[in-house]
Amino acid sequence: MRTDADARDEIVQITNELFAMGLLTPTGGNVSARGATDELIWITPSRLYKGGLTSDALVCIRADGTVVEGTNPPSVEYQMHWASYAARPEATAAVHTHAPVATAFGITNQTFPPINTDAIFLADTRAVPWFMPGSTELAEAVGEALKASRGAILQCHGLMTVGKSMRDAATRAMMLEETAKILLYCKQFGGELTLIPPEWVERLAQLSSFL
C-alpha cells in the first residue's frame, strides 16, 4: 500500500526525470499520485519552476481542489488529474507533459502506424481537441479519452498518461515522445514506411496491457 510519503517521493523522482528529458517545460506540465486514501491526491504546485522540485513544494488536495496539506497553490490542471483517476479507477498516478515531438504529432493529426512494437502498444492513444488549459471542459474531454486508452494527446497543448504505478504512467509518456520522434525521423527520411505484418500487429497488440 502506498503511503503519502511514497506518493511524494515518486512525484519528485518522476518530475525531475521528465524535466531532465525535456518533456516538462520550466512551468508547463504536472504530475500527481494517489495518496494513502482515495479522497486525496498529491500534485505538483501551480507555475513553480519544475527543475529541482522538492517534496515540500507538493500539495495534497481534495477533488474540489481544496488544499489539505502544503503551502503552494495546486496545479491549475488539478481537475484534469481528478478526471483521469475517475476514468481509470486502477490508476495510481497521472503524468501531464508538454513533450515537444508528441505535442507536434498531435497538432498535425498524426496516428501511429505499426513501425515498431511501441507504436503498436500506443495505437489506441486518443487525441483530445483544444480546450482552455485548466478548464472543466478539458478535464471532462481528457477523462473520456482515458476511458479508451491510458494515454491522450491534447491538441495544441501536451499529453496526459495514467498508470497502475507512477513508473507505468511515466513510461507511457516517454514512449509517446520516443515513438513520435521515430515517426518524425521516418517522415524526414521520406522513404516508404516498412510496417510490421498484420498478423504480428494482432499478436503484439494483445500484449499491450502490460503497461
Query: Judged by CB, which is closer to Zn ion: 106, or 158?
Result: 158
β-sheet bridge partners, residue 67: 61
Q: Pick the piece of the chain touching Zn ion (CB under 5 A) from 41-49, 121-129, 136-144, 153-161.
A: 153-161
Q: Are 33 and 1 in contact (CB under 8 A)?
A: no
Closest CB 52 distance from Zn ion, rounded Å: 20
Helix axes 166-189, 100-107, angle to 10 degrees: 60
Closest CB 44 distance from Zn ion, rounded Å: 11
Quick check: 45 binds Zn ion (CB under 5 A)? no
Query: Judged by CB, which is closer to Zn ion: 70, or 158?
Result: 158
Q: Put residue 9 in one of left, alpha, beta given phi > 0 → left and psi -120 to 50 → alpha.
A: alpha
Query: Judged by CB, which is closer to Zn ion: 119, or 174?
Result: 174
What element of type H or E holds 81? helix 78-87
Quick check: 74 binds Zn ion (CB under 5 A)? no
Q: What are phi and psi of 43, to 5 degrees?
A: -145, 155
Q: Find, among 59, 62, 85, the residue nearest to 74 by Cα.
A: 59
For the chain, the helix, strand and coil percentages under 3-state DSSP, each to the nearest 5: 45, 15, 40
**Residue count, binding to Zn ion (CB under 5 A):** 1
Q: Pick the piece of the chain touching Zn ion (CB under 5 A) from 103-111, 117-125, 136-144, 157-165.
A: 157-165
* Other beta carbons within 10 Å of 185: 10
Closest CB 28 distance from Zn ion, rounded Å: 5
Query: Judged by CB, which is closer to Zn ion: 75, or 149?
Result: 75
Span 110-139, contacts to Zn ion by CB under 5 A: none
Q: Which residue is nearest to Zn ion (CB)?
A: 158
β-sheet bridge partners, residue 42: 33, 60
Closest CB 186 distance from Zn ion, rounded Å: 27
Query: Judged by CB, which is closer to Zn ion: 74, or 158?
Result: 158
Quick check: 158 binds Zn ion (CB under 5 A)? yes
Contact footprint for Zn ion (CB under 5 A): 158
